[in-house]
Copies of this chain bind each other. A is one copy, B any other.
């Protein structure tokens, strides 16, 4: 397994604020973990004893609603850290994490990373900034949920995935998820999500190949009422 000091993933997250010595210490006690598509990384209510650093693959963070449906709160890709909030508050996790495809992750035990959090102000500030960013994003999603139509929300999530996670060489969104997941992100019934995507297809705004989606007319999504 590669060492943290030389891991490029680190460039994308708060670990970049750690010194070489700190990184070596973290590296020495981390464990590599592989999760298969669909596998649960952790579940709402669990006590996490560390954080996961995503090296490859995508996962969804979800929360179970009282109506029994899961709501996707966030998608996490390479460079993301899972379990930050629980680490900071020392509470059980309020979200579940499920792999959307095969994932490669590093697990860093709590004790190790807590030490850095308490002793390296640069690191603490960096985690704080990430959390502030997450909060802003969450507030924005809240407003979208409350004020926009399902169709509009679907258009926005397609653009979000396109802009943040990119496409493969043929132009298909590089994150491939089920219609059920789309429904769970947008906050609607699976049938409604399917219906809207079908409509987009009919209007040549997107095209599909199996689960894969390609945006054909970005502006149509952007300017959709």
Contact = CB atoms under 8 A, between A and B. Distances in A.
Contacts of A136: 85, 89, 94
A192 to B, nearest CB: 12
B89 A143 contact: no
Nearest to A88: B132
Nearest to A188: B146
Question: This chain: how many copies in the complex?
Answer: 2
Nearest to A138: B138
Interface residues of A, number: 41
A47 to B, nearest CB: 15
Contacts of A145: 142, 145-146, 187
Contacts of A129: 88-89
Interface string A15-57: 0000000000000000000000000000000000000000000
A139 interface: yes
A135 B127 CA distance: 13
A133 interface: yes
A65 B140 CA distance: 9
Contact of A131 (B63, B69, B128, B141): B128
